[in-house]
Amino acid sequence: MHENPVKSSVQSPQAALSRRHFLENVAAAAASAPLAGAAAAFAADQPAATPRPIKQKIKLGVIGCGGRGQWVSKYFKQHGGYEFHAACDYFQDAVDRFGEAFGVEKARRFSGLSGYKKLIASGVEAVAIEDLPYFYPEQAKAAVEAGRHVYLAKPVAVDVPGVLTVEAAGRLATQKKLCFLVDYQMPTDPVNIEIAKRIGEGGLGKLAYVISAGCATLWPEPPASSTIEQRLRDSQWLRDVTLCGDSCVAFDIHSIDAMTWVLGRRPTSAVGYARVTRPNPQLDGRDTLNVLFQCADGLIWNHVSQSLNNNCDLGLSCYLYGTLANARVRYDGKAFVQGGPKHYVGNVVNLYEAGVERNVAEFYRNISEGRCENPTVKRAVDGHLTAILGREAAYRQGRLTMDKLLKENKRLELNLSGLKS
């Protein structure tokens, strides 16, 4: 995602995340085995605690040279294991600024919609995709098919066909012994991992219900006269559902991913509502959304989303309520398992920066050590399909099943006429 989820949330951008739940009856022996497996998975998700020595420089190409692309690239540079070999952005001035800042030769600075193809063919070994979400699936697919490792921002796609394209690219990457990492920060935090582990060990008792939230400030509204090209700049695209998937996909994916991570599964149906409350809307993004998901075992999951300047302090947050205790996993600040046999309190600090720093290091480690299991891709698929299910149910103001969503395979179409190739 291109926005700092902490700074985008109004008052105290507490971005709470959820951790994975498991099956629900902790006392039952039948539930114990899955929980133990989930706890082991949490530990496996943790990046290496000790930095690995830099043995070689990986030739990196960066697709998307705007605010997010420049910001993330600071951590690739800081790591020391990457060489900025090529860069690409739709706008030539953006890629030139990036090239000057990161030492990319002018001959390997590409622009236009198809500039990423030239970047992939320029001799890079890995690509960091930080462009606009609408374009991510085709860019990631092309990179893997060409034999390149992929570091992908989220949201990874805006519609079902895009998510399935990313899923297929991830499978192909594993088959080709390539690394494919989706840049989620929350599951990298030690406090969040510990909470997830304790939940997986039965710390909440039988899970009763869960709540997640994605509460941001009011996204900027482009002028009525804006063109599609103008909306490709800065954050104007955050009001364009086709470009970003709407707030419940572009922003809320942090908390939705966290919840699917904790639960270890995605919901099977959703019912919801969404509305526009801002004055003089020019684009189709909604301001508020409320969705009730249901999982196959009957678990109820309520998700609340907003983009309003109303001092909401929920930020990105997930709450899990069981028969013995409750838990809160968040993007920053106090997180805990409260009560029960696994009581624990911790503080998530500086996750926006630290999470990316850990992921950049993990990407290098995976490439250097040939670790190509690519577990973040599956989680990205589950989380994004959940977010899209919620959006579609809310837009239609009715109940929608995951099976029907997948069967429809609805594509969001962008009119690219007038854009330079």
pLDDT score, position 332: 87
Q: Which comes out higher in pLDDT, residue 10 or 80?
A: 80
Residue 404: inside a domain: no
User: Residue 36 — pLDDT band, cuts 50, 70, 90?
Assistant: very low
pLDDT over 60 (residue 28): no
Looking up tokens 């500039």, which residue turns up?
115
pLDDT over 50 (residue 233): yes
Alpha-carbon distance of 106 to 153, in angstroms, equals 25
For residues 244-254, give the mean pLDDT: 94
User: Residue 50 — pLDDT band, cuts 50, 70, 90?
Assistant: low
Query: What is the 8-class DSSP label of residue 220?
Result: P
Are residues 151 and 71 part of one domain?
A: yes
**Which of these ranges, 178-187, 223-232, 243-252, 303-312, has the smallest mean pLDDT?**
223-232
Alpha-carbon distance of 342 to 177, in angstroms, equals 39
Q: For residue 138, what are the domain limits?
A: 48-182
Are residues 252 and 209 part of one domain?
A: yes
pLDDT over 50 (residue 18): no
Within 13 Å, how many C-alpha atoms sit on residue 319's CB side? 15
Residue 126: inside a domain: yes
Mind listing the pLDDT tens digit for each residue in 306-362?
999 998 888 899 999 999 999 999 998 899 999 999 999 999 999 999 999 999 999
Its pTM stands at: 0.88
pLDDT over 70 (residue 417): yes
Are residues 245 and 203 part of one domain?
A: yes
pLDDT score, position 38: 43
CB-CB neighbours of 30 under 10 Å: 9
Q: How far is CA 305 from CA 161, 283, 329, 332, in A?
A: 24, 18, 17, 18
**Which of these ranges, 8-17, 163-172, 186-195, 335-344, has the smallest mean pLDDT?**
8-17
Alpha-carbon distance of 235 to 135, in angstroms, equals 15
Are residues 21 and 100 part of one domain?
A: no
Q: Which comes out higher in pLDDT, residue 170 or 38?
A: 170
Are residues 234 and 340 part of one domain?
A: yes
Structural domains counted in the chain: 2
Residue 370: inside a domain: no
Are residues 339 and 204 part of one domain?
A: yes
- Written as one letter, the residue type at 209 is Y
Residue 359: inside a domain: no
Q: For residue 65, give the CATH number of its domain.
A: 3.40.50.720
pLDDT score, position 46: 52
pLDDT score, position 51: 57
pLDDT score, position 173: 98
DSSP-derived 3-state class of residue 216: strand
Domain end marker among 302, 333, 349: 349
Tokens of 54: 């830099």
Are residues 146 and 234 part of one domain?
A: no
Contacts of 33 (CB under 8 A, 6+ apart): none
pLDDT score, position 6: 47
Residue 358: inside a domain: no
Residue 70: inside a domain: yes
Question: DSSP characters for 333-400?
Answer: EEEEEESSTT-EEEEE-SHHHHHHHHHHHHHHHHHHHT----HHHHHHHHHHHHHHHHHHHHHHTSEE
pLDDT score, position 314: 87
Are residues 97 and 200 part of one domain?
A: no
